[in-house]
């Protein structure tokens, strides 16, 4: 099955599209820019949801749901917000066969409608903090769609919180950035760089925007999640106020933060190879596939019985499937499950039945190097250990790849070469014009100002213009 897949090194974009469709994660629809998420892809998204939702609730957030349609006047209330989103808006002008008195915007994000409702719900300091998240779909008119990465409609979560002080709002924005980073590294096995967005790259209407950035398999950056300190911008626009302990009326400080089905694309692009997906075990819809192997009909019953016995030892402890389809050969099944990225394959045939053992094969280690046998009585422990090792190995491999392609250029020529190869950590003057010129000349954007980078010593010069540097910035070509 994998023989016709375009190699990553030949055409990464084509490889990505082929993998997503042939592994049955998603497909195109008649509506330009919109995709259907197929059951296998949706199962992966459900595991992403579950891992994130658990973290949200552990940090005190509750889920709710807000309307898909937003009055256009709400979008206009925050001037920076409307300016930033206007090119992407889908606007409804008719409903029920009649022209609407006021156009409705199909939700691009929910700060405005939630701000309106928070103004109704919040009256006193006793109502704060208000910590709400919603799992929803949003629509942003996309000119250059790509499955999972950029689609007109996509699924996501968006958290919206209100606080009594600026310090609490900033703490919340940074806390949720840490939650995203923890998920990315521990569940998706993707190393990320946490950073603050520059003024020109921040979310429309935010005071500060924070991001986690990751390097994909083609050495481009992907923004995997963002968290925004909105200050009092939306509170003032929508009248979100509370009576403090001294009975004085104050404006709230708000935040918003979100990740989307783009995370599915990230998992594909970071870990996949020329044979297909390689899924981190903690997110994989199927962690273990058991493939019975027999050549003669007389072997079939004993092998199948043994395969289901092996499954019984693992049932409830791992997500598994017994592939007992008769219409396909064992080799065909191997290729299919490799394409789908199942982390661990267990092969059982007459030899394994006789020896009370199983042959295991890791998806992330090709060929005989990734195979070994285990006795049945130690199978559960061995499988659990193998899955944890695969999870850790995928993270280490991705981190090593990022480190190999991250550079500290000392001049413009080195900078140009660095962004050709991957990430460039470079001193920057902080000027938006210089930032724009870098993008025009190299196609690299300012991904973030890394939060954990060593501070500048004071004598550095901007990598492009030579003026005194204000920040150390991460530049890269990006999705």
Contact 477, 416 (CB under 8 A): no
What's the average model confidence in pLDDT over 65-71?
97
Q: Which of 29, 19, 56, 8 is nearest to 225 (CA)?
A: 56
Q: Which residues of 387-405 are buried (b: 16+ CB within 10 A; e: fewer)?
A: beebbeebbebbeebbeee
Q: Which of 76-80, 135-139, 231-235, 262-266 has the lowest mean pLDDT?
A: 76-80
> For residue 398, how far is the Cα from the chain centroid?
15
DSSP secondary structure letters along 70-89: EEHHHHHHSHHHHHHHGGG-
80, pLDDT greater than 90: no
Rounded Cα–Cα distance for residues 170 and 162 (Å) = 11
Confidence bin at 291 (pLDDT 50/70/90): very high
pLDDT at 60: 98
280, pLDDT greater than 60: yes
What's the average model confidence in pLDDT over 119-135?
98
Confidence bin at 297 (pLDDT 50/70/90): confident
Q: What percent of the chain has pLDDT over 90?
A: 93
What's the average model confidence in pLDDT over 284-291?
98
pLDDT at 4: 84
pLDDT at 76: 86
What's the average model confidence in pLDDT over 394-407?
98
pLDDT at 269: 98
pLDDT at 307: 97
Contact 352, 374 (CB under 8 A): no
Confidence bin at 83 (pLDDT 50/70/90): confident
pLDDT at 300: 95
114, pLDDT greater than 90: yes
pLDDT at 85: 76
Q: What is the mean pLDDT of the chain?
A: 96
Number of Cβ within 10 Å of residue 467's Cβ equals 14
Contact 417, 463 (CB under 8 A): no
Rounded Cα–Cα distance for residues 52 and 180 (Å) = 8
Q: Which of 214, 284, 264, 259 is nearest to 16 (CA)?
A: 264
Helix (H, G, I), strand (E, B) or coil at 379: helix
Assign 3-state DSSP to the chain and report helix, strand, coil percentages, each to 5: 40, 30, 30
Confidence bin at 11 (pLDDT 50/70/90): very high
Tell me the two tokens of residue 226. 């963002």
3, pLDDT greater than 70: no
Confidence bin at 81 (pLDDT 50/70/90): low
177, pLDDT greater than 70: yes
Q: What secondary structure letter does DSSP report for 455?
A: P
**Residue keyed to tokens 């049955």:** 24
397, pLDDT greater than 60: yes
- Higher per-residue pLDDT: 56 or 4: 56
Confidence bin at 50 (pLDDT 50/70/90): very high
What's the average model confidence in pLDDT over 25-39?
96
């Amino acid at each position: 099955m994998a023989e016709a897949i375009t190699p990553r090194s030949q055409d990464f974009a084509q490889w990505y599209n082929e993998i997503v469709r042939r592994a049955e994660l998603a497909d195109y629809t008649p509506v330009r820019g919109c995709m259907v998420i197929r059951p296998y892809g949706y199962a992966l998204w459900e595991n992403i949801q579950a891992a994130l939702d658990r973290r949200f609730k552990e940090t005190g957030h509750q889920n709710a749901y807000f309307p898909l349609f937003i009055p256009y006047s709400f979008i206009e209330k925050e001037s920076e917000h409307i300016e930033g989103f206007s090119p992407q808006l889908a606007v409804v002008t008719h409903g029920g066969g009649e022209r609407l008195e006021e156009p409705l915007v199909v939700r691009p994000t929910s700060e405005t409608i939630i701000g309106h409702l928070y103004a109704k719900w919040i009256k006193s300091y006793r109502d704060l903090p208000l910590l709400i998240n919603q799992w929803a779909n949003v629509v942003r008119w996309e000119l250059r769609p790509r499955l999972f990465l950029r689609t007109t409609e996509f699924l996501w979560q968006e958290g919206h919180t209100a606080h009594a002080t600026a310090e609490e709002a900033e703490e919340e924005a940074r806390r949720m950035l840490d939650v995203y980073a923890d998920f990315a590294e521990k569940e998706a096995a993707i190393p990320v760089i946490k950073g603050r967005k520059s003024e020109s790259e921040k979310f429309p209407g935010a005071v500060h925007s924070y991001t986690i950035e990751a390097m994909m398999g083609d050495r481009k950056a992907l923004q995997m999640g963002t968290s925004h300190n909105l200050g009092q911008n939306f509170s003032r626009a929508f009248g979100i106020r509370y009576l403090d302990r001294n009975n004085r009326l104050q404006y709230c400080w708000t935040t918003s933060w979100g990740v989307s089905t783009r995370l599915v694309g990230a998992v594909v692009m970071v870990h996949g190879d020329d044979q297909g997906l390689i899924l981190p075990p903690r997110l994989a819809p199927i962690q273990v596939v058991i493939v019975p192997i027999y050549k003669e009909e007389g072997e079939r019953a004993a092998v199948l019985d043994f395969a289901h016995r092996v499954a019984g030892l693992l049932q409830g402890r791992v997500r598994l499937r017994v592939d007992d389809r008769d219409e396909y050969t064992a080799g065909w099944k191997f290729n299919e499950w490799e394409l789908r990225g199942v982390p661990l394959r267990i092969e059982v045939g007459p030899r394994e039945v006789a020896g009370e053992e199983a042959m295991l094969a890791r998806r992330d280690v090709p060929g005989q190097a990734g195979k070994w046998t285990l006795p049945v009585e130690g199978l559960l422990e061995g499988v659990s250990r193998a899955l944890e090792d695969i999870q850790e190995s995928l993270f280490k491999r991705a981190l090593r790849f990022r480190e190999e392609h991250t550079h500290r250029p000392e001049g413009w020529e080195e900078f140009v070469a660095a962004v050709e190869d991957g990430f460039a950590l470079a001193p920057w003057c902080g000027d938006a014009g210089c930032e724009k010129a870098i993008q025009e000349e190299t196609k690299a954007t300012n991904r973030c100002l890394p939060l954990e980078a060593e501070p500048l010593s004071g004598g550095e010069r901007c990598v492009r213009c030579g003026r005194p540097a204000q920040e150390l910035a991460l530049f890269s070509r990006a999705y």
